[in-house]
Chain A
Amino acid sequence: MDSNNDDTLDIIITNVVATFRTRCHLNLRTIALEGTNVIYKPEVGKVLMKLRKPKITASIWSSGKIICTGATSEEEAKQGARRLARCLQKIGFKVRFSAFKVVNVLAVCSMPFAIHLVDFTKKNRPIASYEPELHPAATYRIKTIKATIQVFSTGSLTVTGPNVQNVATAVEQVYPLLFECKKPLCK
């Protein structure tokens, strides 16, 4: 997607989480009975509904709040959410699609070089933290854009942020810092 050098880095969005409200009470039993591809979880108080196209799983609460996960782009998430609202409308509820918001975007990116995590953490403390006994990746949190980047020694990155633009910005910001830590400090 975006580059700092001549090489292009592919940022692959793997998951987009979005929420919206239907502005009406939903009877979960009715949805579980009349909907296909649904799983009713009475102990938690929600219904899981899966759509085939786009491949989305939605958690439906009786208050009318719905969380959609599994989309691979913001537009796809919106399309899936609207499809779901139509579904509920057909079942018989007076649904109004409102307050749609993308809440979280998860993306992965791969650097074409290995990264020395100890050097990276030492150079970027306290923004970066690394505990090898707990997790094999170093965590880099950018407060301004509310993005979290997990940096693995193989060069893979996992980025989470509130939207796709922030995720891209986060990768751009962190790339030069990673490039510095390509080789171990000593030698």
Chain B
Amino acid sequence: MSTAGLKCPCCGSSSIVEDDHHAHRQMVCVDCGAVVSEGALTHDFFEGTDVSYSRTTAVSKKPCLNQIKGQQRLTALCRVLRVNAEVETLSSTYFAQAYEHESFLKVSLQKKENLAGCCVLVSCRQLNWPVTMGTIACLLEADIAILGAVYQEMMKVLKVEAPLVNVSDVMEAHCQEYKISSLDVHEDLAEDRKDLNKRALSLVELAADSWILTGRQPVPLMMATVYLAWQSLNPNHIRLKVSLEKFCLIAKVKKNRVAVKRVSEIKGVLCKLGKEIPWVTDPVTSDNVVKHVGDIVKNRYALLRSAMRSHEEAMRDSQEEEVNPSEADDQTPHATSENSEMAEQPREGNESNANQNPVPNWGKRMLFAPPCVIHPKRRRAALEGLKDVTGDEDISDGEIESYIRTPREAREFAVTQKAWLSQSEEAKCQ
């Protein structure tokens, strides 16, 4: 249909028709085909609510992919450790909290994985579920030093505390790793898990009382006590011949190098106590002490007291001999009070002389002391520091000259350095 009044701007013709281009309304000139006018393409609606686009399209914040993976890893860890639901929920909460914190936002994936392990560890500790850091490190295949650093940072960030892990609690879990039940090995070598655990626990308590446990890693000590417990529960000649390395092979456990040292330390303590057993006449050495472990462990408190008493008496006698080598025999009743005073004096003398070496002195006096004290490392004598230094003294030129090269030396040095650098570059090219 034609529309009156409209004229084509190109040719001036007045025959304009409505010719829609799909849904687009257009007025077109019939003669030249020019588009005279067209309708709007869009329809602006100003009705509806005043909600902004971002608000209508917003969704609740979802955790990122790495956080989801971390949570899954955490759940997997909890399943492997077979912890209860309470521990699992607590560790998930801690992980969610810690992950959002700035210290853990832009860190490596390895660190985030370690964080998951640390959350499990903290929750287990708080809810009295015995797990060691070594176990978590093993499961995550992580370096324990890095895990430790993440653990300490996490504790600071979350502001939580965790009670210390008691070695006795972890002992049972540790014993379960050793495959020496009658199903796994020969009858002579097999041992009941409960008996093994009990004996090993008593050895651990003994180690704690005699300063072997404090300050040391728990795992090597646990391995040493399990080995000694296994030997002592049935000390036949077969078991006594088995070394720690062989025992680890039999029990399918990875050997710990430090455990060998712990075995010798525990044997030392057992020998000291074995000497106090009244019915043992043969001398007790580290070779035959394993036979007596059962008796020692049963009566350990009495033996400890007895050993301390005999040690004190021996110390007193040796000091009396130092002071009164001849008189001690004659004046025994009168000498008890005098000797106690005189014994004080050489002891004090020892202490004043021992300003240079106070540590080995007191360590050698005790029967039970940390092994580092009984066998101290020999230290080189410390260099004498400058005395009477105020810090504001004059500094002579002569002293300073020794630190500065003369111009000739500096030139020679520069030339030599250049020559050396060019040589090394040539060598690299070849």
Contact = CB atoms under 8 A, between A and B. Distances in A.
Contact of B395 (A73, A86, A115, A136): A86
Interface in A30-73: 33-37, 49, 51, 53-55, 72-73
A23 interface: no
B85 interface: no
Interface of B: 132-134, 144-145, 148, 151-152, 161, 164, 208-209, 211, 214-219, 301, 351, 355, 358-359, 362-363, 366, 369-370, 372-373, 382-383, 385-386, 389-393, 395, 397, 399-405, 410, 413-414
Given A118-B214, A133-B134, A133-B144, A37 B370 contact: no
Nearest to A77: B391
A132 B222 CA distance: 13
A176 interface: no
A47 B373 CA distance: 41
A152 B214 CA distance: 9
Given A112-B362, A155-B359, A73 B385 contact: yes
A79 B393 contact: yes
20 contacts: A35-B403, A36-B403, A36-B405, A54-B389, A75-B389, A75-B391, A76-B389, A79-B391, A110-B359, A112-B358, A118-B164, A121-B164, A126-B161, A131-B133, A134-B145, A137-B215, A153-B211, A153-B214, A154-B359, A184-B209
Contact of A184 (B208, B351, B359): B208
A110 B362 CA distance: 11
The 5 closest A-B pairs by CB, nearest first: A78-B391, A153-B215, A134-B148, A72-B385, A153-B214
B144 A134 contact: yes
Given A33-B414, A75-B391, A78-B391, A51 B217 contact: no
B403 A51 contact: yes
Given A83-B395, A118-B164, 19 more contacts: A33-B405, A33-B410, A33-B414, A75-B391, A79-B391, A90-B397, A90-B400, A114-B211, A117-B214, A130-B164, A134-B133, A136-B215, A136-B216, A136-B217, A152-B215, A154-B370, A154-B373, A155-B373, A186-B209
Contacts of B391: 74-79, 82
A54 B351 CA distance: 31
Interface in A123-152: 125-126, 130-134, 136-137, 152
Interface in A73-105: 73-79, 82-83, 86-87, 90-91
Contact of B133 (A10, A74, A83, A133): A133
Contact of A90 (B144, B404, B410): B404
Contacts of A117: 214-215
Contacts of B134: 133
Contacts of A186: 209
A118 B163 CA distance: 10
A184 B213 CA distance: 12
A37 B400 CA distance: 12
Contacts of A153: 211, 214-215, 370
A132 B166 CA distance: 11
Given A10-B358, A136-B215, A114 B370 contact: yes
B351 A7 contact: yes
A116 B214 contact: yes
Contacts of B383: 55
Most central of B214, B217, B399, B401 by chain A CB within 10 Å: B214
Nearest to A82: B395
A114 B422 CA distance: 59
Contact of B403 (A12, A37, A122, A184): A37
A27 B383 CA distance: 34
Nearest to B382: A12
A72 B399 CA distance: 20
Contact of B132 (A51, A79, A110, A133): A133
Contacts of A136: 215-217
A171 B188 CA distance: 56
A156 B355 CA distance: 14
Nearest to B362: A112
Given A34-B404, A53-B386, A132 B216 contact: yes
A175 interface: no
Nearest to A138: B215
A122 B164 contact: yes
A73 to B, nearest CB: 6
A86 B211 CA distance: 53
Nearest to A55: B383
Given A55-B383, A76-B385, A134-B133, A34 B214 contact: no
